[in-house]
Copies of this chain bind each other. A is one copy, B any other.
Amino acid sequence: MQSYQEMSKEELLQEKAGLEEAYRKYANSGLKLDMSRGKPSAEQLDLSMGMMDVLNSDSDLSCEDGTDCRNYGVLDGIQEAKVLLGDMIECHPDNIIIFGNSSLNIMFDTISRSMTHGVMGSTPWCKLDRVKFLCPVPGYDRHFSMTEYFGIEMINVPMLPTGPDMDMVEDLASRDEAIKGIWCVPKYSNPQGITYSDETVRRFARLRPAAKDFRIYWDNAYGVHHLYDIDQDNLVEILAECKRAGNPDMVYKFCSTSKISFPGSGVAAIAASANNLVEIKKQMQMATIGHDKVNQLRHVRFFKDIYGLTEHMRKHAAILRPKFELILNTFDRELKGRDIGTWIAPKGGYFIAFEALEGCAKAIVAKAKKAGVTMTPAGAPYPYGKDPKDSTIRIAPTYPTLEDLEIATDVLVLCVKLVSIEKILEGK
């Protein structure tokens, strides 16, 4: 396909006229499509409806050690749930605490605790003049808004195809004691779908941060969210790697079943070293008598074990694969060779990131919105909502039906082309 960059002004104007006509047709057809959030579709949720049947009024709601899951107690989760989630995130059950329904909430509590109580004996962050976090970008908007809420300064670190720029991470973390953490979505990252390379994970584990209370916030949100059965990304397990590197306490690993069973009614967990878990439990003991054990039991009885969970994830993949492929095929067909943006074909996760020409993302998202297609706001994947190049567009293909997605992608592609042509014309 011919590069727009190499077209003459006349060729571009002609191309633009054709695209505008197509755009107008969509704009006048009263579309209302949403590709903004990483929500599972109703079809995916249907996969877990059997979970509503595994417990009934005749069930014995005791867990394997005899605990009555209906009553108070068991602060850190029932053993069989720890085993299931341990298998899921490749950690020993003893290194796991099961929480409520939201891993985001665990992250929030973790930051909040560090603010008021410090980290394993360090000065509470609220007593410090400055606290900073490294933020690989583009990244997950809710990480950044949470960090901002606590008045923590955010430093952008560019994402490379191998993960965060580790030269920069090593350099900054080793020099600045105010840097207390880094946000990571290490597998099928939000929004680019990048999995950190083995080297990246090993370099993470070998960090020598200036701050003793520096922690890696390892949000393993898409650990089992593959699109393919064989062609999967592999991620080196960070807890074990940190232990091997003599840094056992340096990482918190977060996960949940939000995009496995039901978002909002799943089970979330943290994995960390024994030292970290002691501190976390001290906080938990003050905050709750225990999380929802019946729901933990419901998950274990439904999935049974990691094989059951893996089979379940294959069903999710079967629904998601065509959606991802639809978008990627459309991009290949319509945008490849045009020199107006780049993208990565992810092998899992919930997003595709389109990297537009500099200064075009906002305009593209706005133009799509005008035609009735809602995208994640441009800038959202960056701290403070500010994309320095105004170029990243996050695409969430999971929620719409395949039919809606086809239209939404067509509209998006039209908007990318139109805004890019305008941008190129400015320079001619």
Interface residues of A in 267-307 (CB under 8 A from B): 282-283, 285-295
Nearest CB on B from A371, distance (A): 24
Q: Check A72–B37 contact: CB distance below 8 A.
A: yes
- A112→B116 contact, CB < 8 A: yes
Contacts of A100 in B (CB 8 A): 100-101, 291-292
A145 at the A/B interface (Cβ < 8 Å)?
yes
Q: Does A93 interact with chain B (Cβ within 8 Å)? A: no
| Beta-carbon contact of B71 and A286 below 8 Å | no
Please state if B289 and A263 are interface contacts (CB–CB under 8 Å): yes
Q: How far is the CB of A56 from chain B (nearest CB, A)?
A: 5
The answer to whether A104 and B287 have CB atoms under 8 Å apart is yes
Interface size class of A (residues with CB under 8 A): 35 or more
Copies of the chain in the assembly: 2
Q: Which residues of B contact A116 (CB under 8 A)?
A: 112, 115-116, 126, 150
Q: Which of B56, B258, B293 meets A52, CB within 8 Å?
A: B56
Question: What 1/0 mask marks residues of chain A from 74 to 118 whose CB sits below 8 Å from any chain B CB?
Answer: 000000000000000000000000001110110011001001100
Residues of B near A193 (CB, < 8 A) are none
- Chain B residues lying within 8 Å of A142, measured Cβ to Cβ, are 286, 289
Q: Is A240 an interface residue (CB 8 A)?
A: no
Query: Is A49 within 8 A of B57, CB to CB?
Result: yes
CA–CA, A12 to B265, complex, Å? Answer: 62
B127–A39 touching, CB < 8 Å: no
Most interface-central of A40, A69, A72 (chain B CB within 10 A): A72
Set of chain B residues within 8 Å of A210, measured between Cβ atoms: none
Whole-angstrom CA separation of A124 from B150 in the bound complex: 11
Residues from 197 to 231 in A contacting B, C-beta threshold 8 Å: none
27 A-B pairs within 8 Å (CB atoms) are namely A37-B72, A39-B71, A45-B68, A45-B71, A50-B57, A69-B264, A71-B262, A71-B264, A101-B288, A101-B292, A104-B287, A108-B286, A108-B288, A109-B287, A115-B116, A116-B116, A116-B126, A126-B126, A142-B286, A142-B289, A145-B285, A146-B287, A149-B283, A149-B286, A262-B294, A264-B294, A265-B294
The 9 closest A-B pairs by CB, nearest first: A108-B287, A265-B294, A126-B126, A49-B57, A72-B263, A70-B262, A45-B70, A149-B286, A102-B288
